[in-house]
A and B are shown apart, each in its own frame.
Chain A
Amino acid sequence: MLRADDWPTYRHDSRRSGVSAATLKFPLSESWQVKGGYPRQAWSGPAKWDAYSGNSGLQSMRNFDPCFYVTSVGDLVYFGSSHDNAVHALDTRTGEERWVFFTEAPVRLPPTIHDGIAFAGSDDGHLYALDARSGNLIWKDRGSPDDRRIPSNASMISLWPVRTAPLVVNNTLFFTASLTPWESSWLIAANPETGMRKFSQEISNVTLQGALLATADTLIAPQGRSAPLLYDLKTGKPSGAIGHAGGVFCLVTEDNQLISGPKSQKAKDNQLFLTDAKGARVATFNDTSCAVVADGIAYLHTRGSLKAVALGKVKDELSEWAVDTPPPSELIVSSGAVILGHDGGIKAYSRENGSLLWESQIPQGGAVHGLAISGGMLYASDSHGTIRAYAP
């Protein structure tokens, strides 16, 4: 059974909200760290610039695997590795490895834990269902009927890698198998316990990547350099795309609105878009690369400041508070704090007034792209492949 303060999937839940109801007791101190080797990312960064348009500082739109993100349930913390092609489970208290499961290609996103099963996708084209306590294989399913593997960045990967964090909604497991628009991609819904497929949707001309997420009735599949696609959660029937969206940063708000970005590289700086359930644009956040929304308040970083903005006011960005911070590479929320990962450290601010509650420097570390809260602990994953656990 999940606890209220578990973090069972990428960015906590099927909305990828990054919001935990758990309380963190500050100050925290580093409890342990694990160096998992350097992440081997699926894609390179963007071009230096668009010289013709005079547009520099282009955004990466496929930066979904910059670190080893973690999930955690009970006394185990999990991550997938693009370095050693494995799914790992560590002891939350000590960081010691409790089990490891080897796949045949990079694992780019953390496993989703549901009813004692850890679901992980691999670049080898398979979705693996593992016993969350032991790591034993329960079942596996290859996303594409075909199994063809090609060289890619010193790995042999499937032409249909599973690069969308598995999603469990309404006791249905969703995953995709997709790489290029020239081969059919696959969206699969399965019984999480048995792996029996509920449907398997063949899709043309898409590149499904980044964490799947869902509103109450719609599955959202990011594509990176193209608009996220919408599917009916029950049938898999396609229902269009969110034109005012793009990139691989996506979250669904409590009101079934979508915050995502960057849409394209036309903007001169980072942008996130707030769109309604029908894909209509509600607001644009300039100079912003990530956000988190809790209890109707959006916490986002723009023009050098972390701001708390009531969602109803986002058009004019009337903030509840603002505090100067480094540009965030990740934002999450606990019951009382908004926690910001950045290049070289972590900072926690009061959700109420923006006061600094705690910070930790990682002098030799990279950018903290992954944060998770579970069991009263904070986990931070950085671009150098290190996972750090912080406890009161």
Chain B
Amino acid sequence: MGMICKLISRVTPAVIAGCGLPFVIAQESDNFSGVTTYFSENFDSLATEPGLLPFPSEPNGDGTDWLDLPTAQKAGALLGWHMIKNASHGKGGVVEWSGWTFASPKGWADAAPGQRREKFSLGTNVIAIADSDEFDDAPGGRPFDATLRTPSIDISRADPMSLTLKFDSGWQAESQTGTVMVSYDNQEGIEVLRFDEGKSTAYSETIRVALKNPEGASTMRIEWRKIGSNHWWWVIDNIEVNDEQPATFSVQPRVAFPDPDTATVSWQAPAQKAILYYGEGKKGILEHKEEVESSDGRYDVDLAALKRATTYRYRIALLENKRRRLSEMFEFDTKFNLSPTPVRGPQTLSEDTEALATTALKATADQNGYLLILGLEDGALASALAARSRFHIVAADSDPSVLQSVRKKLYENGTLGHRISVVSLGDNGETPWTDGFADLILSERESLPVSASECLRLLRPDGGALLTPSGKKLPDFENAPGRWEEAGSFSLFRRGELTGARDWTHQYGTAGNASYTGEALGDVSATSGMSVQWIGHPGGDFGIDRQPRMPAPLAANGRLFHQGMDRMVALNTYNGAVLWSYEIPSLRRLNVAHDCSNWSVDGSNVYLSIKDRLWILSARTGELRHALLLPTAKRKSHDWGFVAQENDVIIGSSVWANSAYREFWGDAAWFDKVGVEVTQVCSDQLFGYQKSTAEGIWSYGRGLILNATIALHGGRVYFLENRSLDLSGKPSSRVSDRRLWLGLTAVCLDATTGKVIWEKPGPKPVFLTEKVGFVQAAYGIATSQGYLAVLSEGTVNNSGTYQKKGNFRCTSYDQDGSLMWSTESPWGADHHGTHITHPVVTEDRLYFAPHIHDLRTGQPLGESYGPRRGCSTVVATKNALMFRILGEGNSPLGLWNKDTGSVSRFMRIRPSCWLNTIPAQGMLLIPEGGAGCSCGGWMETSIGLRPRTSPPKIAPSSPPAAR
């Protein structure tokens, strides 16, 4: 019988953990009862008593390296702890690593340099280590199977169901298992946590487990068991059992930036009081707090006077019944606050100017971008527009004296440059600006100083507006693409869409996942046909790096949406202006190749899956319009998985909470390896919402639905489903069980009712059995012809050994579910993403990587595309495919001409390792996603490219252009 630990009570400051630093909330006066800690152990005392000893066999120690439990206990340390070598545990092996032992993080890392052990930054001073990899370095060191057990912990004063187990963990994935068991009053243990092949590498994370301590329980023990062989490690530190309940949010926190010095933190939670702690945390202290109240649980807290380009950390304490529920540590970075600096406008405006300014700001399609004033009087209109909006104002005139006067005035009131550019117009009526950049064109004068055709050229497509100073419709615009609208006493011409332009509303363009929308891209088929339209934010620092296969950017209705590292931004498609942005700690979803994206858009809204909700955000402003719930049965246990929408229907799915991939460090997080990394995220329920009413209309769930295969087209939802694999009791939707691929069913539902239209036997792997083989990826693509189910399978021989080859296997069903054809297409390679490339489907072709098939028959056409370097997946325009072109310039992004097979390159543009380059809305949009690659001098910036409207001019050698 071990000793009973003393109950440790404390009131704030609460020591909290995050980012490797112990954080202390500075304030002591919070009006809540405090937190009771029932047990804590960080093993640090071993460093001094009895002190760490030299490694007996590891060569890289510094003399203060490690201890085993018996040695520690001889000196009176860690009394009551047990370390059990289970029956199968190897009888030999490296002595330092036989079972759970204790070492300094440095000593442990130095024992095997280059394995990124130092990434366990939360582990400090002395940590507990189960290292089957090092144990296996000597004979008899296999397998590793050992348990570390705490002393008996007195929880007699704890309320039932009130306890939380918290510890810091470092886990390197691959063929190892870790479990945490909890037993109460010496009863049989209950598994509360399991790490296995479904758990990706997480070098340093804080684990919190809500414990279901039963009523009347007086003691508890905790066990960590690790089973493995020559496969990595599990390290833990900073164990704590307390009654600090985690904050639960009905809508997770998000941060907006209303001005350059302010952040607004918003959330919804069932609490009428809250405290927001925040600060830089440089000294381990969140030095500021805001106490707030809300009668309806909706919180919007402005944090003012923030430093620029600074990372802030924050935690939210929800207060209810004098009890505190504390959130995990979140952060936001003011580096990504791209709000324009507010400026003051003229105190008075003439009646006409007032009317013009008011009308102008009502007429714009968005709330940020570029307003072009052609013809100046005194700059008052420009100044007023800058003061009342977030737009950048370009004010132009040809009269040097007017320009100088306006510049001087704007300079003196602090508006020039950063808010208003004052530009000289040439005398010939031409202007220097690129096509289609201006959200609005207007004038301070009675008449426009440039021609109507030039104005039309400058207006941004799909919503750009010209406000005529005379209030009359310009006859020159009679046949122009667009329409006239009434705008008070003014007339307003609004430019229409570009011919052949298409939106990119879902991960692979369409809700049907075709990777092709019909976008004409100005009929361009070579990079020389494209020109820079805009360049700039967001840059390389916005994201994580190019690697982790993040959700693709989306574009609709003149807006481009892009995700970064727990942040998103809405940009103007045609001028790159930042429309709005959020920092959302729960946003991140990675490895979409084996899951699905977390968002889609239409002309009005962004549909964003955040934890257990689907946020519906205004595409124009970012305002949260709805936060849709999961079906009732899933609300406490699941997250929102799939999202797509079409017409008046939103399709969603549920996955077990925390199943989406969020890890991003190390080569394993490239999600590219054959074998263990092919884990699929599967939904257990699919459901429909009516878009117009935000009301649920149906749900469906008969098995495991492979998220990557769900496709929506023409009012039908298609997917692959496994109805026989029973994973009950395993609260994770990451499925690596080979049986997933056996007995697949292809299903088609009516998107508006959820009723099954047809179900047919799904595609079957050729080599895979329950014991050998692997399917590397699976995709579903829906078009007007029906549904394509694609499996990418590696070849294995009779003994199950991988043969370094594989095939894309595709089964085609028509709209009625009839089998049209099946085909297979060999991989071009088994690395750099080639083997998981998402197929492209156009009107008549099916593009695997690299072979081209006839869409009607499935037959290979004997053609292939390339040369391609992998990493990124492939998308199509009317005339070209886009991918990394192998060869010159370190294989940059390029175009492959569908007609001729010729290739052309955008030198020094590197796409992300999945999809960040989309042809949409008549543009080639490349929000930055390829940064962090050490393999080239990439541009690392966001770029919008547009088709050239005329050939580039030939540059003459010239004398000074002006003097």
Residues of A within 8 A of B (CB): 37-38, 40, 43-55, 58, 81-86, 100, 102, 104-106, 124, 138-142, 144-156, 158-159, 179-184, 186, 190, 195-197, 200, 202, 205, 207, 223, 225-227, 246, 264-266, 366, 383-384
> Cα distance A58–B539 when bound, in Å?
14
B392 interface residue, CB < 8 Å from A? yes
Q: Which residues of A contact B416 (CB under 8 A)?
A: 84-86, 102
Q: Are A140 and B960 in contact (CB under 8 A)?
A: yes
Q: Which residues of A contact B956 (CB under 8 A)?
A: 145
What are 7 of the A-B contact pairs (CB < 8 Å)? Answer: A46-B932, A48-B932, A140-B963, A148-B434, A151-B370, A153-B536, A202-B955
The segment from B9-17, B34-42, B686-694, B937-945 that touches chain A is: B937-945
CB contact list, B659-676 vs A, under 8 A: 664-667, 669-670
> Cα distance A155–B576 when bound, in Å?
11
B308 interface residue, CB < 8 Å from A? yes
Q: Which residues of A contact B423 (CB under 8 A)?
A: 104, 124, 156
CB contact list, B330-351 vs A, under 8 A: 335, 340-341
Cβ contact of A156, chosen from B421, B537, B906, cutoff 8 A = B421
Q: Which residues of A contact B565 (CB under 8 A)?
A: 48
- Number of B interface residues in the complex (CB < 8 A): 78
Q: Nearest-CB distance from A13 to chain B (Å)?
A: 26
Contacts A49-B932, A104-B424: A44 and B957 contacting too (C-beta < 8 A)?
A: no
Q: Which residues of A contact B407 (CB under 8 A)?
A: 102
Q: Are A100 and B940 in contact (CB under 8 A)?
A: no
Contacts A152-B534, A179-B535: A47 and B665 contacting too (C-beta < 8 A)?
A: no
> Cα distance A156–B392 when bound, in Å?
9
CB contact list, B419-460 vs A, under 8 A: 419, 421-424, 432-434, 437
Q: Are A196 and B532 in contact (CB under 8 A)?
A: no
Q: Which residues of A contact B541 (CB under 8 A)?
A: 44-48
> Cα distance A235–B116 when bound, in Å?
51
> Cα distance A151–B565 when bound, in Å?
25
The segment from B213-221, B544-552, B804-812 that touches chain A is: B544-552
B542 interface residue, CB < 8 Å from A? yes
B636 interface residue, CB < 8 Å from A? no
> Cα distance A51–B913 when bound, in Å?
12
B908 interface residue, CB < 8 Å from A? yes
Q: Are A225 and B938 in contact (CB under 8 A)?
A: yes
Question: Which of B340, B418, B541 gathers the greatest number of chain A CB atoms within 10 Å?
Answer: B418
Q: Apart from A102-B407, A225-B908, what 6 extra A-B contacts exist at CB < 8 Å?
A: A37-B341, A52-B547, A81-B417, A100-B411, A105-B421, A264-B934
Q: Are A182 and B418 in contact (CB under 8 A)?
A: no
Cβ contact of A150, chosen from B434, B543, B938, cutoff 8 A = B434
Q: Are B308 and A180 in contact (CB under 8 A)?
A: no
Q: Are A86 and B411 in contact (CB under 8 A)?
A: yes
Q: Are B958 and A197 in contact (CB under 8 A)?
A: yes
Q: Are B962 and A142 in contact (CB under 8 A)?
A: yes
Residues of B within 8 A of A (CB): 116, 260, 308-309, 335, 340-341, 370, 392, 394, 404, 407, 411, 414, 416-419, 421-424, 432-434, 437, 527, 532-548, 565, 575-577, 664-667, 669-670, 906-908, 928, 931-934, 937-941, 952-953, 955-963
> Cα distance A150–B576 when bound, in Å?
10
Q: Are B941 and A145 in contact (CB under 8 A)?
A: no
Q: Which residues of B contact A82 (CB under 8 A)?
A: 417
Contacts A43-B941, A86-B416, A156-B370: A182 and B421 contacting too (C-beta < 8 A)?
A: no
Question: Which of B907, B931, B938, B960 gathers the greatest number of chain A CB atoms within 10 Å?
Answer: B960
Q: Are B940 and A145 in contact (CB under 8 A)?
A: no
Top 9 A-B residue pairs of the complex, sorted by shortest distance between their CB atoms: A44-B539, A47-B932, A47-B931, A84-B417, A85-B417, A226-B937, A45-B541, A153-B536, A151-B575
Q: Nearest-CB distance from A219 to chain B (Å)?
A: 18
How would you classify the secondary structure of chain A's contact residues: helix, strand, loop or mixed? loop
> Cα distance A315–B955 when bound, in Å?
47
Q: Are B540 and A45 in contact (CB under 8 A)?
A: yes
Cβ contact of B534, chosen from A54, A150, A202, cutoff 8 A = A150
Q: Which residues of B contact A153 (CB under 8 A)?
A: 536-537
Cβ contact of A46, chosen from B433, B536, B940, cutoff 8 A = B940
Cβ contact of B940, chosen from A50, A154, A225, cutoff 8 A = A225
Q: Which residues of A contact B533 (CB under 8 A)?
A: 150-151
> Cα distance A366–B960 when bound, in Å?
40
Q: Which residues of B contact A181 (CB under 8 A)?
A: 907-908, 939
Q: Are A151 and B577 in contact (CB under 8 A)?
A: yes
> Cα distance A246–B341 when bound, in Å?
34
Contacts A151-B577, A152-B536: A225 and B411 contacting too (C-beta < 8 A)?
A: no
Q: Are A48 and B958 in contact (CB under 8 A)?
A: no
> Cα distance A82–B897 when bound, in Å?
41
Contacts A51-B669, A197-B960: A38 and B394 contacting too (C-beta < 8 A)?
A: no
> Cα distance A54–B667 when bound, in Å?
8
Q: Which residue of A lies closest to B370 (CB)?
A: A151
Q: Which residues of A contact B577 (CB under 8 A)?
A: 151, 154
Q: Which residues of A contact B540 (CB under 8 A)?
A: 44-47
Q: Nearest-CB distance from B173 to chain A (Å)?
A: 14
> Cα distance A150–B535 when bound, in Å?
8
Question: Which of A156, A197, A223 gathers the greatest number of chain B CB atoms within 10 Å?
Answer: A156
Q: Which residue of B lies closest to A224 (CB)?
A: B937
> Cα distance A50–B940 when bound, in Å?
13
Q: Which residues of A contact B664 (CB under 8 A)?
A: 51
Cβ contact of B670, chosen from A52, A81, A139, A149, cutoff 8 A = A52
> Cα distance A183–B907 when bound, in Å?
11
Q: Are B421 and A151 in contact (CB under 8 A)?
A: no
Q: Which residue of A lies closest to B434 (CB)?
A: A150
Q: Are A146 and B418 in contact (CB under 8 A)?
A: no
Q: Which residues of A contact B546 (CB under 8 A)?
A: 47
> Cα distance A37–B957 when bound, in Å?
38
> Cα distance A123–B669 when bound, in Å?
40
> Cα distance A205–B909 when bound, in Å?
12
Q: Which residue of A lies closest to B310 (CB)?
A: A366
> Cα distance A184–B669 when bound, in Å?
39
Q: Are B959 and A155 in contact (CB under 8 A)?
A: no
Q: Are B308 and A141 in contact (CB under 8 A)?
A: no
> Cα distance A264–B932 when bound, in Å?
11
Q: Which residues of B contact A266 (CB under 8 A)?
A: 934
> Cα distance A255–B238 when bound, in Å?
56
> Cα distance A43–B419 when bound, in Å?
18
Q: Are B534 and A102 in contact (CB under 8 A)?
A: no
Q: Are A200 and B958 in contact (CB under 8 A)?
A: yes
Q: Are A205 and B907 in contact (CB under 8 A)?
A: yes
Q: Are B532 and A51 in contact (CB under 8 A)?
A: no
> Cα distance A207–B424 when bound, in Å?
27
Q: Are A180 and B532 in contact (CB under 8 A)?
A: yes
> Cα distance A266–B935 when bound, in Å?
8
Cβ contact of B933, chosen from A50, A139, A140, cutoff 8 A = A50
Q: Which residue of B lies closest to A154 (CB)?
A: B392
Q: Nearest-CB distance from B386 to chain A (Å)?
A: 11
Contacts A48-B565, A86-B411, A225-B937: A106 and B537 contacting too (C-beta < 8 A)?
A: no
> Cα distance A378–B692 when bound, in Å?
65
> Cα distance A142–B432 when bound, in Å?
12
Contacts A104-B422, A154-B392, A197-B958: A46 and B953 contacting too (C-beta < 8 A)?
A: no
> Cα distance A166–B500 when bound, in Å?
45
Q: Nearest-CB distance from B326 to chain A (Å)?
A: 27
Q: Which residues of A contact B308 (CB under 8 A)?
A: 38, 384
> Cα distance A154–B414 when bound, in Å?
16
> Cα distance A54–B109 when bound, in Å?
14
Q: Which residues of B contact A183 (CB under 8 A)?
A: 532, 952
Q: Nearest-CB distance from A123 to chain B (Å)?
A: 10
Q: Are A47 and B961 in contact (CB under 8 A)?
A: no
Q: Which residue of A lies closest to B535 (CB)?
A: A152
Q: Which residues of A contact B539 (CB under 8 A)?
A: 43-45
> Cα distance A163–B514 when bound, in Å?
42
> Cα distance A68–B955 when bound, in Å?
33
> Cα distance A180–B937 when bound, in Å?
12
Q: Which residue of B lies closest to A85 (CB)?
A: B417
Q: Are B532 and A159 in contact (CB under 8 A)?
A: yes
Q: Are B907 and A47 in contact (CB under 8 A)?
A: no
